Structure 1
Amino acid sequence: MKALYIGALAALFGFAVTCQAEDKKVTSPLEYKMKDIDGKEYDLSKLKGKVVMFVNVASKCGLTPQYKGLEELYEKYQKDGFVIIGVPANEFGKQEPGTDAEIKEFCTGNYKVTFPMMSKVVVKGEGQVPLYKTLTEATPKDGKVEPISWNFEKFLVGRDGKVVARFSPRTEPSDEALNKAVKAELAKPAK
């Protein structure tokens, strides 16, 4: 009887540990909270049911003019449930050295950015934020997790909260394949 009790207790304990681990496993980039560019908490879960594009951005990069195209893309599809999240990062050539306030002033002043911008974070290497770990793990290439390659890499998340596409930094926001992917996700019903 005692052995049965201990076995049942161990099985129960093992089940509880398994459930706890499963609860903590993040399956969607929309399960995180971040700080926005103004320092306020931004709960990405409020974007569930929308199509979201995460873009790591920088103000002093040869690709910085993509801000204009990103804003146009956002304005074009926002009414349909599309959101772009700009995520400033300084890992690539130290091309985002400014403070959050300087980044905000640059984006709004030069490119009239209205899509949500987050506080500057680390998207690659030591100190990488969990959001970018989830994004890169969801888009392996040849079975291997590929780190962010440069500023303006784009991750498309469908209405179901799963990463559906990844676009290289040089892919312009006006790119036909990128727009086709956005439209395909927007055509899916919200869950």
Structure 2
Amino acid sequence: MTNDNSVLAVEIDSLQGGSADLGQYRGKAVLLVNVASKCGLTPQYAGLERLQERYAAQGFTVLGVPCNQFLGQEPGTSEEIAEFCSATYGVTFPLTEKVEVNGEGRHALYERLVDVADAEGHTGDIRWNFEKFLIGTDGEVVARFSPQTEPESAEIVAAVEKQLTV
């Protein structure tokens, strides 16, 4: 039985156009990250790709969600974003369309994420690029991580591995 309140029930398009079909990730652990190409944290793409490579065969994926709301650090077109991610960081994980994560235009996907607290108790608006949410195999958010938390940090790796052993 599917949970209609699940994050994975939200409709969003892929970066290349057409539905990203989040339902395909049911039963997998997903690290959802709002990303940007011109941010001081952009080198985190490398760690995100290493996580993808390390755990993809075990039912895990990173899902990048481009956003241009933080100092205009993701100004590119869909094609430019895809080319940058591939050429600069060898990104193989899926990317969605560019969306707003805060404010009146906040995408429905982020409406379902912002009430989740991180380890420091932060809820509400996304603070910056590269804020991370771990979606469990049941489609529910199990953890939130600050933008500064490196993708390969012990806390993220442990949280991902816990989901893979469920």
The amino acid of 2:76's aligned partner reads G
Q: Percent identity?
A: 51
What residue number does 1:53 align with?
31
CA contact (8 A) 2:7 2:140 kept: yes
Change (3 A) 1:142 1:181: closer
Q: CA RMSD in A?
A: 1.8
* Counterpart residue number, 1:106: 84
- State whether structure 2 residue 135 is matched by structure 1 residue 157: yes
- Matched residues in 2 for 1:27 and 1:50: separation? 17
TM-score, reference length from structure 2 = 0.93
Answering whether residue 100 of structure 2 is matched by residue 122 of structure 1, we say yes
Q: TM-score, normalised by structure 1?
A: 0.82
Kept in 1: contact 2:118–2:143 (CA 8 A): no
Change (3 A) 1:118 1:80: same
Letter of the aligned partner of 2:114 in structure 1?
T
More helix by share: 1
**Partner of residue 74, structure 2:** 96
Q: Is 2:118–2:145's contact at 8 Å kept on the other side of the alignment?
A: no
Amino acid at match of 1:52: V
The equivalences for 1:1-191 within 5 A come to 26-139=4-117, 145-188=123-166
Aligned-residue offset at 1:34: 1.1
**Per-residue displacement from partner, 1:32-90 (whole Å, max 9, x unpaired)?**
12111111211111111000111000000000000001000010000000011100001
Any gaps of 5 or more consecutive residues in structure 1? 1-24
Asked whether the equivalents of residues 140 and 146 of structure 1 are also in contact (C-alpha less than 8 Å), the reply is no
Name which structure has the greater RCO, CA cutoff 8 Å, separation 6+.
Answer: 2
Q: Distance in 2 between matches of 1:107 and 1:66?
A: 11
Number of matched pairs = 164
